[in-house]
């Protein structure tokens, strides 16, 4: 639970853009201590004025966040993770373990549960709060056995006709040598193929970070929901800045260019619904954030429940078939790039 682990992240003081808010909060706390120490001093008016100013400043700062600032909020150490949402949205959750091939990857969690009495199967990426837990969960970056565990759980859902609800929150799949040796790319590709054909409703929710194929590996579904301050992209802003600008410090420029926010992706028809968060981010009020997400999930499951299997699969196919936009200059035709042919090496002639 978020509230139970707050002490482990108490050293985090906030982001740079939140500094004016933190300064005001400190002033309010100092005045409240003064009022307690001096009972005859009436400074309630000053405290009330500062509180009003604090609320105005919160609305101003959080009402016009830049893409990079939303990325930072998505990474907040007190932000709700998959198990935090499951505990608030679901009942009777039973976590399943292992991929029945190699190991149990703790970066992926999942199992059967109920949402308002409706049987479902839930799964998602799971990060850690403490350093020890983060290392055990590999900072939410799954190995191939994590994706194979997810696939095993989803196959169980398809077998028993239960809808699938996936929570996406990862910087990406783990790119280590061991993961590659055990078939990381194959595990992700098999998930994409299998999720495209499961004959049960699938609702995917980006609750924090949505990085590359590591996110997409449990992100192929009928509906894609996205929390207001989440991000979803083929690459992180830092990675993009390192490649395009040769400077990871230009991550804010890359975040703007990548169109990775919920609003950007809604405009591109990739996201089906943006789930509102409490002012300042889901970590300020996890219970309210979870109830908003639960309402959205139930609404989409109700819509999908009325579809026949053929209609469900056809709509899912069309959803991904129409993604992508391109522009062609007026007067020019779109044509394939010419293929480059390697020059055949001249045969060697040995001299006698």
The phi, psi pair for 19, rounded to 5°, reads -55, -45
The pLDDT value recorded for residue 227 is 96
| Inside any domain, residue 10 | no
Q: What is the DSSP string of 252-314?
A: HHHHHHHT-BHHHHHHTT--SEEEP--TT-GGG-HHHHHHHHHHHHHHHHHHHHTS-HHHHHH
The pLDDT value recorded for residue 14 is 77
Q: For residue 275, what is the DSSP state? A: E
| Inside any domain, residue 2 | no
Angle subtended at Cα 10 by Cα 7 and Cα 16, rounded to the nearest 5 degrees: 155
Short-list 195, 174, 169, CA closest to 289 = 169
The pLDDT value recorded for residue 23 is 81
Q: Are residues 53 and 81 in the same domain?
A: no
| Inside any domain, residue 348 | no
Q: Are residues 216 and 108 in the same domain?
A: yes
Residue at a domain's end among 64, 86, 105: 64
| Inside any domain, residue 269 | yes
Per-residue pLDDT for the chain (352 aa), expressed as one digit of tens each? 444 444 445 566 778 888 888 888 888 887 777 767 776 667 777 778 888 888 888 888 888 899 999 999 999 999 999 999 999 999 999 999 999 999 999 999 999 999 999 999 999 999 999 999 999 999 999 999 999 999 999 999 999 999 999 999 999 999 999 999 999 999 999 999 999 999 999 999 999 999 999 999 999 999 999 999 999 999 999 999 999 999 989 999 999 999 999 999 999 999 999 999 998 899 989 999 999 999 999 999 999 998 999 999 999 999 998 887 667 777 666 665 555 554 444 445 555 4
CA dihedral over 276, 279, 282, 287, signed as positive or negative: negative
Query: Which residue range is the domain that position 28 belongs to?
Result: 15-64
| Inside any domain, residue 346 | no
Q: Are residues 230 and 110 in the same domain?
A: yes
Compute CA distances 184 → 174, 248, 281, 314, whole Å: 8, 26, 33, 29
The pLDDT value recorded for residue 286 is 95
Q: Are residues 23 and 163 in the same domain?
A: no
CATH of the domain at 146: 3.90.226.10
Q: Is 91 exposed, middle or buried (0-12, 13-18, 19+ CB in 10 A)?
A: exposed
Q: Are residues 291 and 308 in the same domain?
A: yes
CA dihedral over 237, 287, 263, 213, signed as positive or negative: positive
Q: Are residues 118 and 265 in the same domain?
A: yes
The pLDDT value recorded for residue 17 is 82
Helix or strand or coil: residue 149? helix
* Domains held by the chain: number: 2
Q: Are residues 47 and 109 in the same domain?
A: no
CB 123 within 8 A of CB 195: no
Which residues, 6 or more positions from 308, have their beta carbon under 8 angstroms from its beta carbon?
A: none
Q: Are residues 52 and 196 in the same domain?
A: no
d(CA 199, CA 164): 10
Q: Are residues 194 and 211 in the same domain?
A: yes
CB 227 within 8 A of CB 207: yes
| Inside any domain, residue 349 | no
Q: Are residues 78 and 29 in the same domain?
A: no
The pLDDT value recorded for residue 348 is 53
Residue at a domain's end among 27, 46, 64: 64
Q: Are residues 252 and 277 in the same domain?
A: yes
Short-list 262, 225, 281, CA closest to 79 = 281
Q: Are residues 39 and 136 in the same domain?
A: no
The pLDDT value recorded for residue 274 is 96
| Inside any domain, residue 341 | no
d(CA 75, CA 61): 18
| Inside any domain, residue 328 | no
Beta strand pairing status for 118-125 and 108-115? antiparallel
């Amino acid at each position: 639970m978020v509230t139970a682990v707050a002490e482990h992240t108490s050293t985090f003081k906030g982001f740079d853009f939140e500094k004016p808010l933190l300064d005001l909060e400190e002033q309010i706390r100092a005045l409240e201590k003064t009022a307690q120490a001096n009972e005859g001093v009436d400074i309630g008016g000053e405290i009330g004025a500062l509180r009003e100013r604090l609320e105005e400043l919160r609305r101003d700062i959080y009402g016009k966040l830049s893409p990079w600032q939303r990325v930072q909020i998505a990474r907040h150490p007190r932000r709700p993770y998959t198990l935090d949402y499951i505990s608030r949205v679901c009942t009777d959750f039973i976590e399943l373990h292992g991929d029945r091939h190699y190991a149990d990857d703790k970066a992926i969690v999942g199992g059967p549960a109920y949402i308002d009495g409706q049987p479902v199967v839930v799964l998602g990426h799971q990060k850690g709060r403490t350093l020890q837990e983060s290392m055990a969960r590999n900072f939410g970056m799954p190995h191939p056995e994590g994706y194979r565990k997810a696939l095993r759980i989803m196959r169980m859902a398809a077998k028993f006709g239960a809808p699938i609800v996936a929570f996406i929150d990862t910087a990406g799949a783990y790119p280590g040598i061991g993961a590659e040796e055990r078939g990381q790319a194959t595990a992700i590709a098999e998930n994409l193929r299998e999720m495209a054909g499961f004959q049960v409703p699938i609702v995917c929710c980006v609750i924090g970070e949505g990085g590359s194929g590591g996110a997409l590996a449990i992100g192929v579904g009928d509906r894609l929901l996205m929390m207001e301050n989440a991000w979803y992209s083929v690459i992180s802003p830092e990675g993009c800045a390192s490649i395009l600008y040769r400077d990871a410090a230009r991550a804010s420029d890359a975040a703007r260019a990548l169109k990775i926010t919920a609003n950007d992706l809604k405009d591109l028809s990739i996201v089906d619904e943006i789930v509102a968060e409490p002012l300042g981010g889901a970590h300020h009020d996890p219970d309210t954030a979870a109830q908003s997400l639960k309402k959205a999930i139930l609404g989409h499951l109700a819509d999908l429940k009325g579809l026949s299997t053929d209609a469900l699969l056809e709509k899912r196919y069309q959803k991904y078939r129409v993604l992508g936009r391109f522009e062609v200059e007026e007067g020019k035709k779109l044509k394939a790039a010419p293929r480059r042919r390697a020059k055949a090496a001249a045969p060697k002639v040995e001299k006698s």
